[in-house]
């Protein structure tokens, strides 16, 4: 089984943080759109009309700090998730290919799905405290608030406060829902990306090295991820951000992910599960593109240093 080097794992984490710097404003918009009109029937006056409007209003009222809320926690989460993917995805896929008698180079659809699912579960569990903090920090707005508001000065303070109120269990609130949500995304993201990329090259439309190939493949992967993951993502954001009672596992609005899902559909309608989907797509397409590009150039730079 092929094991990634320590250098490649570090580079993957740095590439993830680079991509997160650019995609975080859309993540802030997604979080706020998902919480807007929470458990309110249609007819309310929306503060935000879409992802670009959310980013514009956040910038106007809160400045750069507002559109980059939760960036430190987002770095930690994205870095951990990418480290899990680079460390586990390919070794796990190769092992499954070997067990099933498939060639190591073959992108066999069932094994890519299984590898993506398992790496997503591992990454979501490891990063749950940071995703929890990120969601709460991004929801906070002193000017145009939506959802429950909590003001943390930093991600570190947020972790301390959550731990002091609820212990270690509080940091892993919603972990099962997070693992389900992330596994949905990772199970389809890389298979869709590689499938689209291969088809573009096979049809002769573009070369594999063409940057447009990466962008188109990333856009296809982003669209599929949004389709599969948005309902679970909206559910998780609301579970993370709901008011809580110290010492209790559940919250005051929802007892768990299924309860959140059912209440959202019953009160707001099924399309409410796709609140923030446009912002999700706006985030994930450049995120994947920048992530893969940064990883490639950081790898080249590191290799050039070793040759000198």
CA nearest to 16, candidates 276, 298, 277, 221: 298
- Mean pLDDT score, 259-264: 96
| CA gap 178, 121 in Å, rounded | 8
Does pLDDT of 6 surpass 90?
A: no
- Residue bearing the bigger pLDDT, 189 or 77: 77
Residue with tokens 């984490």: 13
pTM, full prediction: 0.89
The neighbouring-strand residues paired with 251 are 244
Domain spanning 6-302: CATH superfamily: Mitochondrial carrier domain (1.50.40.10)
Report domain extents, the chain: 6-302
Q: What b/e sequence results for 209-226 when a residue is b if at least 16 CB atoms lie within 10 Å of its CB, and e otherwise?
A: eeeebbebbbbbbbbbbb
- Mean pLDDT score, 191-219: 89
Q: What is the pLDDT of residues 50-81, one digit of tens each?
A: 999 999 999 999 999 999 999 999 999 999 99
3 confidence band (pLDDT: 50, 70, 90)? low
CA nearest to 136, candidates 53, 242, 24: 242
Task: Note the pLDDT of residue 106.
Answer: 82
The neighbouring-strand residues paired with 244 are 251
Does pLDDT of 308 surpass 70?
A: no
Does pLDDT of 2 surpass 60?
A: no
Does pLDDT of 1 surpass 60?
A: no
Q: What percent of the chain has pLDDT over 70?
A: 98
Task: Note the pLDDT of residue 104.
Answer: 81
């Amino acid at each position: 089984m092929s094991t990634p080097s320590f250098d490649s794992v570090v580079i993957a984490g740095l590439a993830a943080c680079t991509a997160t710097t650019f995609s975080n404003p859309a993540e802030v918009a997604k979080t706020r759109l998902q919480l807007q009109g929470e458990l309110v029937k249609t007819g309310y006056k929306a503060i935000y009309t879409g992802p670009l409007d959310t980013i514009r209003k956040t910038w106007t009222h809160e400045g750069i700090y507002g559109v980059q809320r939760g960036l430190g926690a987002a770095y930690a989460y994205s870095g951990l998730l990418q480290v899990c993917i680079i460390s586990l995805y390919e070794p796990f896929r190769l092992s499954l290919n070997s067990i099933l008698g498939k060639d190591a180079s073959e992108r066999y659809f069932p094994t890519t799905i299984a590898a993506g699912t398992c790496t997503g579960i591992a990454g979501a569990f490891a990063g749950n405290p940071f995703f929890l903090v990120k969601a709460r920090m991004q929801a906070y707005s002193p000017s145009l608030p939506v959802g429950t508001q909590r003001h943390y000065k930093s991600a570190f303070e947020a972790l301390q406060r959550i731990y002091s109120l609820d212990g270690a269990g509080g940091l892993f609130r919603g972990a099962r829902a997070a693992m389900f949500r992330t596994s949905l995304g990772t199970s389809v993201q890389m298979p869709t990306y590689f499938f689209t990329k291969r088809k573009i090259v096979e049809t002769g439309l573009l070369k594999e090295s063409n940057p447009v190939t990466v962008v188109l493949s990333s856009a296809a992967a982003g669209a599929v991820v949004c389709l599969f993951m948005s309902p679970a993502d909206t559910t998780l954001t609301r579970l993370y951000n709901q008011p809580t009672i110290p010492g209790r596992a559940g919250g005051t609005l929802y007892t768990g992910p299924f309860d959140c899902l059912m209440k959202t559909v019953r009160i707001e309608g099924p399309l409410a599960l796709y609140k923030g989907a446009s912002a999700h797509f706006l985030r994930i397409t450049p995120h994947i593109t920048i992530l893969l590009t940064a990883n490639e150039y950081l790898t080249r730079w590191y290799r050039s240093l070793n040759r000198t």
